[in-house]
Amino acid sequence: MRQEPPWTYHRGEGPRTFGVEEELLVVDPGTGVPRPLAGTVADIAAWHADVHRRADRVEPAKTELFCEMLEIATRPCVSSAELDEQLRQARRAAAAAAKEAGAAVAALATAPVRFEPLLNPAERYRRIEDRFARLVDDKLTCACHVHVHLTSAEEGVGVLDRIRPWLAPLLALSANSPFWQGRDTGYASWRHQLWSRWPMSGPSELYGDAATYEETTRAMLATGVLVDDHMVYFDARLSRSYPTVEVRVGDVCQQVEDGVLLAVLVRALVETEARAWRAGRDADPVSTAVLRLAAWRASRHGLGDELLHPLTWRPAPAAAVLEALLDHVTPALEAVGDLDRAVRGVELLLSRGTGADLQRAAYAKEPGLGSVVVDAVRRTVPD
């Protein structure tokens, strides 16, 4: 989510603004093989954005770690309808630019077909490759990052401490990476498994206050392992660029409506836990070990099996966990008029399946992983 500075903390008046950053694969429209054309696509998108700046509020696409990855973003939005339209518009703009480059874009969290990615030659990415070696080779993964406006850093840390139990269900409903390098991994979100290899990823410990959060960040940097503070890859963190909490746990969603649902639930969670923090209610002291197990189960099965219930930490049907999530955030959803959208979105996911289910269904219909990518291209920009 991008916004020209200065952008200050939320004043607590009206709904919190929120926005989304999505990572997309740039692929061959016929074979589905990723192509290293993200720089070209970004240049074309930037040219169109400059030409149509007065009429078009879409942010131009950006390059990422690999030359087959493209990042798109909304601006800060007040309503879910506004976010929905901006995300569709951003995907359409990226698809149009990709088409001019002889490619297409696909909202897939991993590349199903076997290929060798090409590292972006930017100096920062070269430093990351030098530091982390073989880990970087498996980092061509595409996520959805949701930003929600904060009133203060202290509030943000209060939120981070309290949303921890609910992040695994968000991973489960966004799961969209069952195939990787030419095979079915058996997981709904293989992207999560690849990210779990990084030493600064996954769930975080309880912080208690902003000073402890900053001290933790400084201690991580002092180890010399991280290239910079943007490499704090926890499932949720305070943004280093904006006055937001950034929830990073989700795969990029194949369908726009699923991405909007993820963002709507994240904003409602942030508001719910901010209220709990202001009321002085304690955060769940659940250990990161249990949180990792919850995330593993969500990554393994998506919504196709049991998840760990955040109120009991025992296995429960995915539908029951999502119902508990909706119950938990209903007042926040009602306050911004998003309850019906959230309920409908959850019902659709439970009946139709996640992106991982859609990919496997496409493969069953037309065996061949290239066809899975081509089907995802169609779903990424359906109109």
Q: What is the pLDDT of residues 290-341, one digit of tens each?
A: 999 999 999 999 999 999 999 999 999 999 999 999 999 999 999 999 999 9
Cis amide leading into 6 (omega within 30):
yes
More confident residue, 355 or 12: 355
Taking only the tens place, the pLDDT of each residue in 151-203 is: 999 999 999 999 999 999 999 999 999 999 999 999 999 999 999 999 999 99
Q: How far is CA 112 from the centre of its chain?
A: 18
pLDDT at 138: 83
Residues 52-67 pLDDT 10s = 654 455 677 899 999 9
pLDDT at 55: 47
Please give the Cα distance from 217 to 240 (Å, whole number): 11
Domain ranges of the chain: 18-380
* Nearest-angstrom CA–CA distance, 146 and 17: 11
List CB contacts of 321: < 8 A, sequence separation 6 or more: 169, 172, 307, 308, 309, 310
Helices (H), the chain: 38-51, 80-100, 123-132, 134-137, 153-163, 167-174, 190-195, 210-222, 256-278, 288-301, 318-335, 339-352, 355-365, 369-380
Q: Which of 279, 159, 266 is nearest to 209 (CA)?
A: 159
Question: What's the gap between Cα 256 and its chain centre?
Answer: 12
Domain at 18-380: CATH code: 3.30.590.20
What span, in angstroms and rounded, lies between the C-alpha atoms of 316 and 215? 37
